[in-house]
Amino acid sequence: MKHFSMRRPDVNLLFLQVLVAGAVVICPNVAHAYMGEQFINNTAMYIIAPIAFFMIVITLGAAMVRPDVAKTTGYVAVVAVVLFGVIKLGNQIINWMQAG
């Protein structure tokens, strides 16, 4: 006859539950309008804005040497600036669409 014993609880699962409960208790005020809002704002500030600035500088420099390259980098700069504006005005755009 087999001997059945109680299973020992998984220590990793127990540790994870305690960790999540502690995080919820310690920092309950970290809430954003939607998931990833802080990530998107950081991306706009630290990735898209420098790319737009860099492309504008390259466009001005390339316009002196090769106008065809200036046109292409100018398009990239315009797209980056528009994308930056849409990200930064995202909450207002959503509010305008809901109100109208």
Asked, for residue 26, whether it belongs to a domain, the answer is no
pLDDT value at position 76? 83
Tell me what the mean pLDDT of segment 21-36 comes to. 65
pLDDT tens digits, 55-98: 888 888 888 888 888 888 888 888 888 888 888 888 788 888 88
pLDDT value at position 29? 57
Asked, for residue 10, whether it belongs to a domain, the answer is no
Asked, for residue 86, whether it belongs to a domain, the answer is yes
If DSSP states are collapsed to H, E and C, what string results for 4-69? CCCCCCCHHHHHHHHHHHHHHHHCCCCCCCCCCHHHHHHHHHHHHHHHHHHHHHHHHHHHHHCHHH
pLDDT value at position 30? 56
Domain count, the chain: 1
Decide if pLDDT at 36 tops 60. yes
Prediction pTM value: 0.54
Asked, for residue 21, whether it belongs to a domain, the answer is no
Decide if pLDDT at 41 tops 60. yes
Decide if pLDDT at 3 tops 80. no
